[in-house]
Amino acid sequence: MRGSSETFPPGFGPQTYGESFADVYDRWYHDVTDAAGTARFLAERCVSPSVLELGVGTGRLVAELVGAGLDVVGVDSSLAMMRGPGAGPLRAVADISALPFRVGRRFGGAICAFNTLFNLPTAELQQLVLAETAAVTTGPIVVEALTGAALADADVQSLGISRLTSDSLVLAATVVDHDAQTVTGQHVDITPAGITLRPWHLRWTTPPQLDRMAAEVGLELAERYSDWNGSLYDQFSETHVSVYRH
């Protein structure tokens, strides 16, 4: 089954990230990337206002996308992430590798932001997302993700402080499998109310690997930058914004 828990490590599944971070996501990650820049970038490239957001989550980007004149349909596997009002009225709980749209549905563009693609645990499922998205879009498919360069050199195990305030401490523990290109982690959230474990798992794909996956489903790289403002992408970039077209 596509996106089934069998492809994840034991105890992890398609909803793990959303269930782990839904209650803190907007507080911790509201400014993790440039939402206004994302909206401008996409609005300048979409062939019609209708946009598909893969992994809409809490709707962190929706207000800016709508403000840029786009009509957003959001898909996410986590009901917990979409319970808030920010995700917008047009949203669906679904695996992004098995999009729930009728034959003939077409969007003017699609966005998969902030490592969403890497939440899928295998290269095959990530490629399937590209194929499924290509089938329902006429415009660009835009992917924002880490390049993987830092992860390729990361320690196999690490433990550090992620967040520290006067009344809370968040520790981040990670285990990296360089051969499988995976990172499995726990954010240990310690507050006066107790301890909450927030597990997560990602499988990174390098830009050249992503380009090959896209080419195999009929897409080609049209543009690549290091951020939403169009900054130069080079071998030192830690993130990339890549635009694929049919």
Q: What is the pLDDT of residues 71-104, one digit of tens each?
A: 999 999 888 888 765 556 577 778 887 887 775 7
Is the Cβ–Cβ distance between 132 and 54 less than 8 Å? no
Work out the number of other CB atoms within 10 angstroms of the CB of residue 89.
9
Q: How many CB atoms lie within 10 A of CB 175?
A: 15
Q: Are strands 220-225 and 239-245 parallel, antiparallel or unpaired?
A: antiparallel
Mean pLDDT score, 181-195: 97
Percent of the chain with pLDDT over 90: 78
Confidence band for 1, pLDDT divided at 50, 70 and 90: very low
Run of H or E including 54: strand 50-54
CA distance 156 to 153: 9
Angstrom distance (rounded) from CA 115 to CA 75: 15
Q: Is the pLDDT of residue 3 over 60?
A: no
State the average pLDDT over residues 7-21: 89
Residue 138: its pLDDT value, please? 96
Q: Angle, to 10 degrees, between the axis of helix 207-216 and the axis of helix 123-134?
A: 50
Helix ranges (DSSP H) in 57-176: 62-67, 123-134, 149-152
Q: Which domains occur in the chain, in start order?
A: 5-150+205-245 (3.40.50.150), 151-200 (2.20.25.570)
Range of weakest confidence among 96-100, 230-234, 236-240: 96-100
Query: Distance from CA of residue 43 to its chain's centroid?
Result: 19
Degrees, nearest 5: CA angle 142-204-228: 30
**Beta-strand relationship, 182-191 and 168-177:** antiparallel
Distance (Å, rounded) from C-alpha 124 to C-alpha 136? Answer: 19
DSSP secondary structure code for residue 117 in this structure: G
Answer yes or no: is pLDDT of 161 > 60.
Answer: yes
Q: Which residue has the higher pLDDT, 15 or 3?
A: 15
Question: What's the pLDDT score for residue 30?
Answer: 87
